[in-house]
Amino acid sequence: MSTDNPDFPEPDDDAKIQEPRLWVGNGWTARVIKNDEDEGWAVAMIKDGEPEPALVGPWTMGRDKKNPKPLDVNAFNTLVKTASEVLRRHEQQLHAQLHKSLYVSMADGQIKVMLDIVPDEDHPYAMLSAYDQDGEELAKVRTSAAFKLSASSAAAWIENDYRKP
């Protein structure tokens, strides 16, 4: 519902909270929490919509050496940047685990062999595919998610006329 009445302002979908121990904005929540491991404090960075923090790290004590230093705009922005980088690295690592490729030199040229793992919770599997130098697909078969792609396993697959390994 839209209204121009100043007594009923539009709701702000990216409402910001800026409290000493809780900041919300830019798709993130920073929450300063008591560190159960020792007498200090920690900060947890949670991406909107995620159940678990992307990053939990130590937080600085305030001047009274009992309470945490309050969050501020610079600290929040640094925490968002750091937590985003942690997530990006995690996504890159997961992608590298699920998608592998290599080149095999054969008599009629180089063949690119790719293994794409589908991490289905109940029935994980992988797709093994081969491409010629022009990028044309030569073969594609479904195989076990446990298949280990190596130069020798790829060459053996090619030499076996691309039959399911």
Residue 138 lies in a domain: yes
Query: Is 54 part of a structural domain of the chain?
Result: yes
9 lies in some domain: no
Average pLDDT value over all residues in the chain: 89
Distance CA 83, CA 141 (A): 38
> Is residue 4 over pLDDT 80?
no
Distance between CA atoms of residues 45 and 55, nearest Å? 5
Statement: residue 70 has pLDDT above 50: yes
Report pLDDT digits (tens) over 96-147.
999 999 999 998 899 999 999 998 889 999 999 999 999 999 999 999 999 9
Looking at residue 49, its pLDDT comes to 94
Answer yes or no: is 143 within a domain.
yes
Within a domain: residue 11?
Answer: no
pLDDT at 65: 84
Contact by Cβ (8 Å): 149, 115: yes
The contacts of residue 56 (CB under 8 Å, 6+ apart) are 42, 43, 44, 45
Same domain membership, residue 111 and residue 93: no
Last residue of a domain, one of 62, 97, 132: 97
Mean pLDDT, residues 8-22: 67
Domain span holding position 121: 107-159
86 and 112 together in one domain:
no
Query: Please, which pLDDT band fits residue 14 given cuts at 50, 70 and 90?
Result: low
Are residues 125 and 68 part of one domain?
no
On the 0-12 / 13-18 / 19+ scale of CB atoms within 10 A, 130 is buried
Count the domains in the chain: 2
In a domain, 3, yes or no: no
Same-domain status, 85 and 63: yes
Residue 142, domain member (yes or no): yes
Residue with tokens 């100043």: 6
DSSP structure string for 108-136: TEEEEEEEEEE--SSS-EEEEEEE-TTS-
Would you place residue 8 in the very low, low, confident or very high pLDDT band (cuts 50, 70, 90)?
very low
Residue 157 is inside which H or E element, if any? helix 151-159
**Residue 13: its pLDDT value, please?**
46
pTM (predicted TM-score):
0.67
Same domain, yes or no, for 80 and 34?
yes
Radius of gyration of the chain (CA): 26
**Which region among 8-12, 93-97, 114-118, 147-151 has the lowest average model confidence (pLDDT)?**
8-12
Sign of CA dihedral 72, 73, 79, 83: positive
